[in-house]
C-alpha cells in the first residue's frame, strides 16, 4: 500500500555520478571522501560503463590537470584531461549522458574560478570568452551537456553563443545557477586540488542567508538560455530547490549533494552512529521530494546498487 501511494520516486536514472579524472596512470584515494578516487582516463571509462549497467544515465566530469597556470590554459586543450575522458567514456558507453564541469579553478595556480587582477579581484568579463572556449573544447570531444560552475555573470549567454558559433547547437547548458559560498565544498577542493591560495569566493558565490537572490540568479540564467538549473549544496538548501521548482516549472532542476554532505554521512556511518544505506536513501528521496529531477551525488554507485537490490 505504501508503495502504491508513494508520492516521490527515486531511481538510478535520477542520479548523476561525479568522476574526478587524473592525468596520472594510477588511482588516487581522496582522504576526506572515503570511497571516492581520482581515476585515470581508462579507469573512468570502465567506471562509467559499470554505472550504466546499474541504470545510471549520466556522469559529470572534473578534470585534474598535471600543470596549472594563472590563466588556466590547460582547461581548453583539445588533448586535455577532461577532453580525453569525454572521448573515452563516449567511445565505451555512447548512451551515457556526459556532463562536464566548465570552470577554471582546477586549472589555475591561484585556484580562482577565472582570471584575477593582481590584487585577487575576479575579472568577470575577461573570463567569459575563456569559458566559451572551454565549453567548445568539451563539446568537440563529445560532451552532451556543459555545466558552468564559476558563477560568473553572463556565463550562460557567452557559452551559448560560443557553442552555437562552433556548430554545437544541440549541446545543452546545465547552469550552476544558485551556488552558495559554502563550507560544504571543503573535501571537493581536496579531491580536485582547487583550494584557493588567497582570498575567497564570496564576491561571486551566494550568501547562505539569501533566498530571494537565488530567484534572480536563476531568472538571469533562464533569460540567457540555460537548459537546466542547479542548486548547490542540497541538504541545507531544500527550500531553494522548492522555490526554483515553482518558479521555473518547465525547466529540469538538478541538486548537487556536495562533497561535505557526503563526507559527513560517511564519517557518521563509519563510526556506527547512523545506518548508511537508510540515511543516504532518505536524504536522496528528500532532495527529490523538494523538487529536484536529478541529483549529483558521490553516493551514486552505492545508491544505484541499493535501489537495484530493493528495500530490505
In whole angstroms, what is the distance from residue 232 CA to residue 270 CA? 25
Binding-site size for ligand PBG (CB under 6 A) equals 10
Which cell numbers in the block locate residue 208? 547562505
**Residue nearer to ligand PBG on the CB measure, 153 or 164:** 153
Q: Smallest distance from the beta carbon of 260 to ligand PBG, in angstroms?
A: 6
DSSP letters spanning 23-62: SSSS-EE-TTSTT-EEEEHHHHHHHHHHHHHTT--EEEEE
**Residue nearer to ligand PBG on the CB measure, 64 or 163:** 64
Q: Which of 100, 108, 259, 283 binds ligand PBG (CB under 6 A)?
A: 259
Q: Which residue is nearest to ligand PBG (CB)?
A: 188
Please report whether residue 60 would count as binding ligand PBG according to CB under 6 A: no
Q: Which of 105, 130, 143, 206 binds ligand PBG (CB under 6 A)?
A: 105
Please report whether residue 188 would count as binding ligand PBG according to CB under 6 A: yes
Please report whether residue 101 would count as binding ligand PBG according to CB under 6 A: yes
For residue 92, give the DSSP letter: H
Which cell numbers in the block locate residue 279? 540515511
Please report whether residue 299 would count as binding ligand PBG according to CB under 6 A: no
Q: Beta partners for 295?
A: 15, 255
Q: Smallest distance from the beta carbon of 154 to ligand PBG, in angstroms?
A: 17
φ and ψ at residue 120, rounded to 5 degrees: 95, 0
Residue 232 bears catalytic tag: yes
> Pattern of binders to ligand PBG over 239-258, x per CB under 6 A?
-------------------x
User: Which positions ≥6 away from 255 have C-beta within 8 Å?
Assistant: 230, 231, 232, 234, 237, 241, 287, 290, 292, 294, 295, 296
Q: Kindly list the distances between the CA atom of residue 245 and the CA atoms of 18, 205, 218, 249, in Å, as whole numbers in the listed order.
A: 23, 21, 11, 5
Q: Smallest distance from the beta carbon of 64 to ligand PBG, in angstroms?
A: 11
Q: Which of 141, 140, 73, 75 is nearest to 102 (CA)?
A: 75
**Residue nearer to ligand PBG on the CB measure, 47 or 149:** 149
Please report whether residue 237 would count as binding ligand PBG according to CB under 6 A: no
Scanning the structure block, which residue is given the C-alpha cell 540567457?
A: 224
Q: Smallest distance from the beta carbon of 187 to ligand PBG, in angstroms?
A: 7
Residue 266 bears catalytic tag: no
Q: Smallest distance from the beta carbon of 183 to ligand PBG, in angstroms?
A: 10
Instruction: For residue 10, count other CB atoms closer than 10 A to its CB.
Output: 20
In whole angstroms, what is the distance from residue 263 CA to residue 293 CA? 23
Please report whether residue 116 would count as binding ligand PBG according to CB under 6 A: no
Residues known to be catalytic: 179, 232
Binding site for ligand PBG (CB under 6 A): 101, 103, 105, 149, 185, 188-189, 194, 258-259
Amino acid at each position: 500500500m505504501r508503495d502504491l501511494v508513494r508520492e516521490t520516486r527515486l531511481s538510478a536514472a535520477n542520479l548523476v555520478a561525479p568522476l574526478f579524472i587524473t592525468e596520472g596512470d594510477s588511482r588516487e584515494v581522496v582522504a576526506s571522501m572515503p570511497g571516492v578516487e581520482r581515476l585515470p582516463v581508462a579507469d573512468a571509462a570502465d567506471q562509467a560503463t559499470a554505472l550504466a549497467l546499474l541504470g545510471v544515465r549520466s556522469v559529470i566530469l572534473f578534470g585534474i590537470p598535471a600543470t596549472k597556470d594563472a590563466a588556466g590554459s590547460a582547461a581548453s586543450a583539445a588533448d586535455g584531461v577532461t577532453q580525453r575522458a569525454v572521448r573515452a567514456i563516449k567511445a565505451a558507453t555512447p548512451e551515457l549522458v556526459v556532463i562536464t564541469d566548465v570552470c577554471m579553478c582546477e586549472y589555475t595556480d591561484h585556484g580562482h574560478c577565472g582570471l584575477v587582477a593582481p590584487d585577487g579581484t575576479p575579472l568577470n568579463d575577461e573570463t567569459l570568452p575563456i569559458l566559451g572556449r572551454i565549453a567548445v573544447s568539451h563539446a568537440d570531444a563529445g560532451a552532451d551537456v556543459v555545466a558552468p560552475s564559476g558563477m560568473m555573470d553572463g556565463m550562460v549567454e557567452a557559452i551559448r553563443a560560443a557553442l552555437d558559433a562552433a556548430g554545437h547547437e544541440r549541446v545543452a547548458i546545465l547552469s550552476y545557477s544558485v551556488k552558495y559560498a559554502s563550507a560544504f565544498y571543503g573535501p571537493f577542493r581536496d579531491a580536485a586540488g582547487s583550494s584557493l591560495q588567497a582570498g575567497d569566493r564570496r564576491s561571486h558565490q551566494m550568501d547562505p542567508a539569501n533566498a530571494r537572490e537565488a530567484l534572480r540568479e536563476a531568472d538571469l540564467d533562464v533569460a540567457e538560455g540555460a537548459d537546466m538549473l542547479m542548486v548547490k549544496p542540497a541538504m541545507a538548501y531544500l527550500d531553494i530547490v522548492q522555490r526554483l521548482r515553482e518558479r521555473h516549472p518547465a525547466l529540469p532542476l538538478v541538486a548537487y549533494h556536495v562533497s561535505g554532505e557526503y563526507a559527513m554521512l560517511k564519517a557518521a556511518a563509519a563510526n556506527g552512529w547512523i545506518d548508511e544505506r537508510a540515511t543516504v536513501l532518505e536524504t536522496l528521496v528528500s532532495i527529490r521530494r523538494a523538487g529536484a529531477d536529478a541529483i549529483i551525488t558521490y553516493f551514486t554507485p552505492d545508491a544505484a546498487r541499493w535501489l537495484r537490490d530493493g528495500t530490505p
